[in-house]
Structure 1
Amino acid sequence: MRTAIVLFNLGGPDGPHAIKPFRVNLFSDKAIIRAPWFIRVWLSRLIANSSAKAAYENYQLMGGKSPLLELTEKQARALETVLGLDYRCFIAMRYWHPFAAQTVKEVKQWAPDRILLLPLYPQFSSTTTGSSLSDWREAAAAAGLAVPVTSLCCWYDDPAYIAATAALVREAIEDAMAQKPGLPLRVLFSAHGLPESIVKAGDPYQAQVEASSAAVMAHLADTKVEALVCYQSRATPQKWLEPSTVEAIAQAGRDGVGVVVVPIAFVSDHIETLVELDIENRHLAEQAGVPVYVRARVANDDPDFIRAVAGLVRRAQVPGLYQGGTACAKKHKDCPGAGMV
């Protein structure tokens, strides 16, 4: 059977001209700004304009654009190599090219026997996976793409994914230990934040981030390091999940412990790892007196990670919803698989 694998991710501007429209698209999404459309449109432009200069400067640090598309393409090609000729990967970004409508046409032209929708978000959130899946369904319906579809909901505790992540974290811990032998270390599992109101409304993201982090730490029990889950990239005035990564770094400075930052919710490098964590937060750590600051590598096209994703693909054989990990509790009603098992 010819299987089309659609890899979903956030997307990113492909040049300075795209920075503002990308951010407008992002903050116009009703899954992120949960307000009437006319307020949402106004807010998206207000947020994009208010931080336009800082956003432009940050993207300049990465050559004027996001590397996310190129890195996702590498993941796609690596995944095809592992899976073989009956599989082909397509990319659909949520807020910048290639959009779902364009990718739907490419998939339809290839004429697969089945489609697997595979969000590159291990932890489900209505603001990421949920939004991407809804966007795809609308585009597929408009294009008349009628092929059996399997939607991968989440894979936050998939054993192979956890093992691949733990190997990257161990590498970072060993780096930090080598810099200052004997120094106490704290692993900060830094995930993109969410407003608390979204989690209280039934989004499982926080619970899944905590589960991923705990599973990784179970692999690292012999390292005897402590761990904390924290959240980065606050973008609106609402109360967001706590503690923030900035607060966690400041506390590490007060406690005199080294820090290993793990971008637990990301599988590809982009502005939030390459600029926010590597540059801005590293500077904050220096100011706070943190004795060692190391950021763990994200997966990108790491062979163990690609093999883990290939395993998810091979197991997702039945049309409908497939969960790579444990089903969500019923209270997480925003998850399409809540309470299934």
Structure 2
Amino acid sequence: MKTAIVLFNLGGPDGPEAVKPFRVNLFSDKAIIRAPIFIRFWLSRLIAASSAKAAAANYELMGGKSPLLDLTQQQAKALEGELGDEVKTFIAMRYWHPFAKEAAQDVKAWNPDRILLLPLYPQFSTTTTGSSLTDWHEAAAAAGLAKPTTTLCCYFDDPDYVDSIAALVDRGIAEAKASLPPGVKLRLLFSAHGLPESIVTAGDPYQAQVEANTAAVMARLADKNVEHQVCYQSRATPQKWIGPSTIEAIEQAGRDQIAVLLVPIAFVSDHIETLVELDIENRELAAHHKVPGYFRATVPNADPAFIRALAGLTRRALAGTHGLCSHKNGRACGEKHKDCPWSRYRMGQNAA
């Protein structure tokens, strides 16, 4: 069967002139700024303008654009290589080109027998996968694209995915310890993108899935004695966000005089939050607080083990009988998470 795999990702500006509109698109998303549209319209522009110079400077550090599309294209090509000739990948970015509407038109032109929606977000959040799903369904309807579609909602503790991450962390631990003076201990900081606390309280399963993802990786590490902490980065609005923040965790490491290995647990591709926020800004913060060693684990990008894990997830999802699946086939998070897509899927079944 001809199978279209649609990869969801955030997107990023492809040049200096795209930085502002990309950020306006990001902060205009009702899944992120949960305010009435007339407030969101002005607030998105205010937030984008308030740090416009800093954002532009940060993208300049990466050559004036985000590397995210290039890296996602590499992942897409590698995944096609694993899955064979009857599979074609398409990329649907949420906040910059190629948008879902462009991807939907391309999928329609290819005319597949079926579609798999595959987020490059291991943990489900209404602000990432949920937002991309809404965007895709609107784009597919506008394009007149009607094909049997399966959605993979999350894979945060899928064994093959976890093994691929654990291998990268093992490598990072070995390299860090080889660089540290004798007697200096190491702490893993599993850093994920943060969320306003109100979104989690409302039922978003993201924080619970990040913590479960971390626990699964820790259970597979070769070093069973290394200590760890989950923390959250990239606060962007004035609300109270889930914590502790990555900044707070680094400051605490300075007080404890312990080296840190940053593990970007919610990111599978390098972009501004790994290459600038973690590698430059937080490294400088660590030096300021006299952290005795600062290291970062590699993100998967097109790592072969990660691509094989995605291929396995794809095969199992397509072999299932549901339009919605997780790596566990059924629901992967607890009933208290009312914004898990399975809650809405069940509501739809009951309504039918």
Q: CA RMSD in A?
A: 1.3
Secondary structure, counterpart of 1:316 in structure 2: helix
How many angstroms does 1:182 deviate by?
3.6
1:142 maps to which residue?
142
2:44, 2:345 → 1: CA distance? 36
**In 1, distance between residues paired with 2:196 and 2:285?**
23
| Pair 1:330-2:340 in alignment | no
- CA distance in 2 between counterparts of 1:269 and 1:228 reads 21
Q: Residues of 2 paired with 1:23 and 1:339: CA distance?
A: 29
Q: Write out aligned runs for 1:181-260 (5 A).
A: 181-220=182-221, 222-260=223-261
Are 2:168 and 1:163 equivalent residues in the alignment? no
How many aligned residue pairs are there?
A: 341
Letter of the 2:84 partner, please give it: G
Aligned 1:44-193 pairs, distance under 5 A:
44-180=44-180, 181-193=182-194
Match of residue 274 from structure 1? 275
Partner of 2:350: none
- 2:190 alignment partner, SS class: strand
Cα pair 1:59 1:65 within 8 Å, conserved: yes
After TM superposition, the structure 1 = structure 2 runs for residues 18-57 of structure 1, keeping only pairs within 5 Å, are 18-57=18-57
One-letter amino acid matched to 1:200: T
Q: 1:22 to 1:232 in 2, by over 3 A?
A: same
Say which of 296, 320, 324 aligns to 1:321: 324
SS of residue in 2 equivalent to 1:290: coil
- How big is the shift at 1:222? 3.0
Mapped to 2, the partners of 1:287 and 1:183 lie a distance apart of: 18
Partner of 1:297: 298
SS class of match (2:91): strand
Structure 1 segments of 4 or more deviating over 3 A?
338-341
How far apart in 2 are the matches of 1:310 and 1:221?
25
**Preserved contact between residue 5 and residue 117 of structure 1 (Cα < 8 Å):** yes
Residue type of the alignment partner of 2:259: G
**Distance between the aligned counterparts of 1:223 and 1:299, measured in 2?**
22
Measured in 2, the distance between the counterparts of 1:336 and 1:10 equals 19
Read off the aligned partner of 1:272 and give its amino acid letter.
Answer: E
Q: Name the CA distance, whole Å, in 2 between partners of 1:340 and 1:7.
A: 21
> Match of 2:5?
5
- Taking structure 1 as the reference length, the TM-score comes to 0.98
Q: Deviations over 1:258-292 (max 9, x none)?
A: 10000000000000000000000000001111111
| Matches of 2:68 and 2:334, distance apart in 1 | 32
Q: How far apart in 1 are the matches of 2:2 and 2:121?
A: 24
Deviation at 1:298, TM superposition (A): 0.3
Letter in 2 for 1:234: R
Question: What is the CA–CA distance in structure 2 between the aligned matches of 1:42 and 1:319, rounded to whole Å?
Answer: 40
Q: Tell me the alpha carbon deviations over residues 158-205 of structure 1, each in whole angstroms, 9 at most, x when there is no partner.
A: 000000000001111111100114421110000000000000000000
State the Cα distance separating 1:319 from its structure 2 match: 4.7
Structure 2, unaligned runs of 5 or more: 347-352
C-alpha contact 2:196 2:242 (8 A) present in aligned 1: yes
Q: Which amino acid aligns with 2:209?
A: Q
Between the aligned partners of 2:96 and 2:207, the Cα distance in structure 1 is: 26
Residue in 1 that maps onto 2:349: none
Residue identity in the other structure for 2:142: A
Paired residue type of 2:337: H
> Do the aligned partners of 1:161 and 1:309 also contact (CA within 8 Å) in 2?
yes
Does the 8 A contact of 1:249 with 1:290 survive in 2? yes
Report SS of the residue matched to 1:7.
Answer: strand
Structure 1 stretches of 5 or more lacking a match? Answer: none
**What fraction of aligned residue pairs are identical, expressed as a percent?**
72
1:117/1:339 CA distance change after superposition, 3 Å: closer
Q: CA deviation at 1:340?
A: 8.8
In structure 1, what residue type is equivalent to 2:326?
Q
Q: Equivalents in 1 of 2:176, 2:94: separation in Å? A: 36
Shift of 1:238: 0.1
Summarize deviations over 1:267-322 as a string: whole Å, max 9, x none. Answer: 00000000000000000001111111110000000000000000000001235001
1:336 deviates by 1.0
